[in-house]
Amino acid sequence: MRKIILLLLVTSLIVRIGITSEAGTGVVVEKTAPQEIVKGDILPVTISITNELSYRVKVIIKERFGGAEAVDMGDLKRNIPEEITSAPPYYEGVLTIDANSERNITYKIKPLYFGRFKIPATTVYTSIGTIRSNSLTVLVKCNQNGICETDEDENAITCPEDCSPRKRDDLCNPLSDGICDPDCKAGEDPDCGITTTLMTTTTEIPVKICGNKICEYPMENYGNCPQDCASGGEDGYCDKVEDGKCDPDCKIGEDPDCEKPADNLGLMVLLLIIIILVIIIAYKKEWLKIGR
């Protein structure tokens, strides 16, 4: 009896060794996605599972990512944990893959932030063990349409192609780079001071620039030197002063003068109507005189 049991164990071991040898590497998982996308676009991610074994394999897929909105998860379903945690949710799927064949799963997500968006490795559980795929890093870029869309989180750092550090982008850059950032408060940006250094061939001479009647942008603006920079001028500073000039540095609704052209247009139309009525009345009176 012991010999029979031992023979069965040896036979089973030989069969297992034979399957492993014949199967090669077993199950291979690879994940692919575009290298870069524009923020707001949909990112497709494909998980490829190759079964190199000579028999069918059942696999359980677990996928996790953060900082993105799930648009279409395909064959993956969201797994809701019993306890609420701060970790992002994971998605789960079950597949059966035929011998020596490949199955692909593609899901679609929308990254919520600029920069390098990282997707961790996919975990696949099988009867022969746990396999993990490669991880991915996708560059999320701005749309580069020439408009600094602060409501889309664009600024001089996330989207320098659209947002100039000389213009308002809701981000203060306090670096000493020769540019007075209009988003900085008083004292935050050293470039917004009222003094600078004039370079000569022999020495450096401190020169006070505020008060020389020249608006030397970007060092000066209406906020830090109204003596040189008049309100309503293009100086990287929205002064919001009601002076009859629409300040080009102001956003829509910030400068009351930017709303006045529409009012002036209405007055011009009204004046034109009055002139036409006066001409008609005068013509009518003249026509009555001729009729007499």
Residue with the larger pLDDT of the pair 83 and 131: 131
Domain range list for the chain: 21-141, 143-171, 177-263
- For residue 273, the SS3 value is helix
Q: What is the pTM of this model?
A: 0.53
Tell me the one-letter amino acid at 287.
Answer: W
Ranked by mean pLDDT, the top range of 62-66, 225-229, 255-259, 277-281 is: 62-66
Residue 62 has pLDDT above 90, yes or no: yes
pLDDT > 70 in the chain, percent: 78
How confident is the model over 175-201, as pLDDT tens digits?
777 788 888 888 788 877 654 444 433
What's the CATH class of domain 21-141?
mainly beta
Residue with the larger pLDDT of the pair 133 and 24: 133
Of the candidates 107, 112, 104, the one whose C-alpha atom is nearest the C-alpha of residue 91 is: 107
The token duo for 33 is: 């996605």
**Nearest-5° Cα angle at 260, 259 to 261:** 100
DSSP sequence for 25-81: T-EEEEEE--SEEETTS-EEEEEEEEE-SSS-EEEEEEEE--SEEEEE-TT-EEE--
DSSP state at residue 122: P
